[in-house]
Chain A
Amino acid sequence: MSVMLSLSGVTAFYGQIQALRGIDLTVEKGEIVTLIGANGAGKSTLMMTICGNPRARSGSIVYQGEDITQCAMHDIARKRIAHAPEGRRIFPRMSVEENLLMGAQVVKFADYDNQLALMFDLFPRLKERINQRGGTLSGGEQQMLAIARALMSKPDLLMLDEPSLGLAPLVVKQIFGAIRQLNRELGLTVLLVEQNAYQALRLAHRGYVLVNGAITMQGEGAELLARPEIKAAYLEGGH
């Protein structure tokens, strides 16, 4: 397997406050990697730093052999890294199709219809709601839309920030099922940030645990799941 994304010694700040402390992380091609950690541990910041906002203050981020540490946010998105940000952030007044079209900024117009058909296969619900306004969708549908919108750019790497946020367990299952399907059938590489550690570690090949902006543990998903300290910190009190 080849390395898709690697971070070494990445630090990031919000003003004076250090949010990331020397992060080393790799994502191999075709892997699902998850980042788990408590609120405020820096999971979303890490994901945003890969996207270029905030910029990494030191260290380097290499994506498919290319150093993207200093790239502008929209340039990074054009390198086939798709990012579905925290809180879904769909365009509420635009229709489902317009939302998907916005995700297809990077692809050639000929590919648009194929991508659209692919998304409708993956999330048939979106096809039913094609002309509906994004803001009127249910939470689960909005999350599907956010993922589909990110996937419209035919990414090599998909970064998902808390896709299970505020969703019913059954819907979370559907979404995670779709992620697994994408990974198995299309070989899509996925970097997943999750609060829902149990589900995420079961889905992922490998996982990293983030505490206070630094990685404290890493390992295979099932292995992490079995560790007592993980159980104590993230898994007690329900899934």
Chain B
Amino acid sequence: MSAPSLRVDFGKFQLRNPLLAASGAFGYGAEYREFIDNATIGGFVTKSVTPQPRRGNPHPRVAETPAGMLNSIGLENLGIDHFLAHEWPEVLKEPCVPILSVAAYSPDEYVEMCAKAQAAGGVQAIEVNLSCPNVKEGGRTFGADPGAVEAILRRCRQETDAFLIAKLTPNADPVAIAQGAEAGGADGLSLINTLLGMGIDVERRRPLLAMGMGGLSGPAVKPVALAMVYRVCRSTSLPVIGIGGIATWQDVVEFLLAGARAVQVGTALFSNPLALAEMIDGITDYCVRHGHDSVEELIGALSEGDLITEGKYEK
């Protein structure tokens, strides 16, 4: 028997394998060069780019929690104009699918960035990071409002022919948000972003993060992410990228079985830069052991049997 194929279809893309490096954990694609060969992974998502340069948040910006980490980096970056002029040409040279992540503080800014990306050329896929506070609406996260998500995606859709992926926050009902994104014209979904979290140093009586609260990621969030991916996959026809605490090949298989067509790995890279390579080996071996010619056969292949239907969870 020949080696199983790890190729997966994801919308208009055929990915080398379902493993992508997640936004915020992988810089602009070159930073892990001494540890990770980008010709072996499906792709990566850039650190989010914003309309204007941002210096980021005060320090500390990261803290460790049981099986997880909190971060409040604050979207430090040089702004989209600088990015498209200087970093993007280098990103395009990477031998896998690069996905541009954009984050903004008003609907107009999302639209402006999609237009600039379109004008720059070569941007095949955009992940819309919807987890920023909407400064014009009292700071409420765009991503928590299905109507706002739909409106942003609809306007972005008009500005670019890039494949638009809406990145969903777990700090809201993901099914409703997914439906908003789909109605607005998203081509795909990725979830979950980080969960709002906090840690306190009891001796100093101060939060672990300078900003007080931040985003929780890592294995601690994986069951939450898996349940959300499972629910969203059953409620949408869009291809889904599973994200959240994925650290082993078994985690990857779980998300594929739950219905994700690809996964993103972020926090796991910090402790184990070889995690992606180990996952590739692990899912290859899994396919062989289970007699699959293609990893595609795993997608949504959860044996549901007498599984209680979703409605009963909701009560």
Partners in one complex: no
Which residue numbers of B lie inside 8 Å of A, CB to CB?
none
Which positions in A face B, CB cutoff 8 Å? Answer: none
